[in-house]
Amino acid sequence: MLICSQCKFENPKDHKFCQSCGFSLVDKKCCECQAIIPIESKTCSFCGAANHTVLWAIILQKKVAEESIAKPKLAQGNSQLAIENLFDLFAEVKEETKSLLQIDQNNSHALKRYAIERNSSSEKFLETIQHNSDSIFIQGKVIDQYPWQKSHLATLQKQQTDLFNQLSQNLNNSYLSVSQNWNLVGLPIHALPYLILEKYTPTVPEIYDAWQQQDQGVVLLPDRSQWTLLTELWSQQKLPLLQIIWFLDEMAKLWQALHQISCAQSLLVTKNLRIDEDQALCLQQLYMDPIDNPPSLKDLAKTWQLCFTQSNLDNLDNLNRLLDRVISGEIDKIEQLRLELHNLGLDEDEIESFDIHTNYSQVNITQPESNYNLGASKLGNFFDEDEDEEMMYSSEFEEQPTAMIPMQLRSITDVSCTDIGSHRDHNEDFFGVKTAVEKVENNAENNLKVRGLYLVCDGMGGHAAGEVASAMAVENLQKYFQTHWKEELPEQKTIEQGILLANEVLYQTNIDNSRSGSGRMGTTLVMALLQDTQLAIAHVGDSRIYRITRKQGLEQLTIDHEVGQREINRGVEPDIAYGRPDAYQLTQALGPRRSNYVRPDVQFMEITEDCLLLLCSDGLSDNNLLEKHWQTYLEPLISSGSDIQEGLFKLVDFANNYNGHDNITAILVRIKLKPNF
């Protein structure tokens, strides 16, 4: 299968254009100048920029073959030969997966998909990163020469969907059954932690490809080796104590999660602690814990002190005294360490007013320090049948608060798009965006204040002048909040009153024009009011608001006002409720009826992590499009390095092919946060 570089749709190998979006399968856009170049090009012929996919390879090599690798490492003349021999495994795949590597039209031979990055040091590639009794790990950079080909891992995941779901969701099995199933899949054991932790991307890198070949297991990850080191960030900036504590608390939250899958060593390698473009803590890779000597909390404290030394940080006397208490054994629980860290960031008055039991009870960490290891001799402990549902991946990782450290806006970006759709002759959707940004920056502070009003209205299909109704609703609400939005975010009563006034304008227009029944114009409404990190949302009808975060994924924040949903609210089974012929008929809308029949839903919430807000008409959300495809089209846009406008265009184009029966309108708001130091 060929993966489209634009929409990630899978296409037959002999196609030249994507069946979904129509983009060329033999061309790609340059990552720098956006020029169209052949898909196999490693450099752009227009601007000279590199255009190949660089990956980080981690190879688990059985000790039986260690001499054939280690000796050439010492002999300069043979080092390249050793690398070439080592990478024969990239082409020597099992018979059933050879098709993944065949690239010529006649399938006459298989070529290597992955190759060494030639500008990297051979000896650096052969760096041994970890030993155990019967194997070693080797790491380095490789290039995916054919990234449009579906990976071996993706193929296995599609073929063995039930098995992968079982491995990631139900780990309370015996070691024997789990290891046997894992061997049947044909993946190396050091791929397992990445798959278990895939919901914690990007903190933990998402696995790119993996396979097992005889005595060698290969895991490929995105290359993060050029990302800024945490110690470099600390060295370059004069960081306040609270910011240091925030980074340490992020690592402390990770500690319990990684310890439970025997990868706590990942936090003890200072060169593994990286910073992404949003200055969020990320790991370059996962390191498996030594089988006979698993890391302890003392090791974490020593690593933090080493980071202070490498970063030339001083004036951390209180923090170092706290770490000395950990090293001495006085503090031996991660929850106790986190609580002490939080208290260091508070002044005396705040500590006295802080209810320790109330606040820290949110941290659901109850398991003792683990001795589990992912080595062959200890893996069974991790799947002990006595383990219950307190496993890290279930909820506790994301529920742990970054306590007492308030967040503020780092940046906000909004984009919008409306499309007539492929089956309509006019557009009844209307949207409005108004964002006011105030930036305050000087030697002592760097603050961003934002006030944003976002509206999407879908003129009711089959009603006369639906496009007029949607435009009138947006314009009236914009005027209303221009005068009724004072210093603070409007209260619920104020928001409801604005919506009802807009309804009265539409209703009176219907009466003045003697419209009745289905001839009355009307519209749905979704609206978001954002003031810094405070958010209010309101809706009438079946247009929707979604929130997308890395931790929670896709969340639908609104509940459709339609007959089927009304019946579900009354206790009717969903299949029965939506089996009615009138299931999708609206129960709420602006315009057709007096305001005493209109009951807008209003919610308030606080933005506590980086997220996307998506407001859309049902032309985009119909047929569970977003629920099925948000990871492809929306999740990557959370990163500030992504082109959010282009991403929205791709989503709307895809929706036209997937749905296309209605107008499509969307507003996408990307909100990035930072600690408020």
Does this model's pTM top 0.75? My answer is: no
Distances (CA, A) of 10 to 122, 299, 545: 35, 46, 29
What integer pLDDT is reported at residue 134 of this predicted model? 67
Region of poorest pLDDT, from 54-68, 79-93, 281-295: 79-93
Residues 40-52 have pLDDT tens digits of: 677 777 777 766 7
Task: Report the phi/psi class of residue 324: left, alpha or beta, with left for phi > 0 and alpha for psi in -120 to 50.
Answer: alpha
- The number of helices, as runs of H, and strands, as runs of E, in the chain is 23, 23
Higher-pLDDT residue of 58 and 164 is 58
What integer pLDDT is reported at residue 85 of this predicted model? 44
Higher-pLDDT residue of 501 and 96 is 501
What integer pLDDT is reported at residue 91 of this predicted model? 38
What integer pLDDT is reported at residue 398 of this predicted model? 41
What integer pLDDT is reported at residue 177 of this predicted model? 47
CA-to-CA distance for 52 and 223, rounded, in angstroms?
12
Residues 116-145 have pLDDT tens digits of: 776 544 444 445 555 555 677 788 888 887
Which overall architecture, per CATH, does domain 407-675 show?
4-Layer Sandwich (3.60)
Neighbours of 71 (CB within 10 A): 12
Whether the per-residue pLDDT at 369 is higher than 80: the answer is no
Ordered by start, the domain boundaries in the chain are 1-51, 54-222, 228-399, 407-675
Q: Which residue, among 669, 670, 665, 668, has the nearest Cα to 471 in the 3D structure?
A: 665
Query: Residue range 602-616: average pLDDT?
Result: 96
Secondary structure (3-state) at 588: coil
Fold of 228-399: Transferase(Phosphotransferase); domain 1 (1.10.510)
Q: Under 8 Å CB-to-CB from 600, ≥6 apart: which residues?
A: 495, 496, 499, 500, 525, 538, 539, 540, 588
Q: Which residue, among 9, 15, 49, has the nearest Cα to 32 in the 3D structure?
A: 49
Please say whether the beta carbons of 397 and 630 come within 8 A: no
Please give the structure tokens belonging to residue 345. 């960031």
What integer pLDDT is reported at residue 387 of this predicted model? 34
Please say whether the beta carbons of 436 and 674 come within 8 A: no
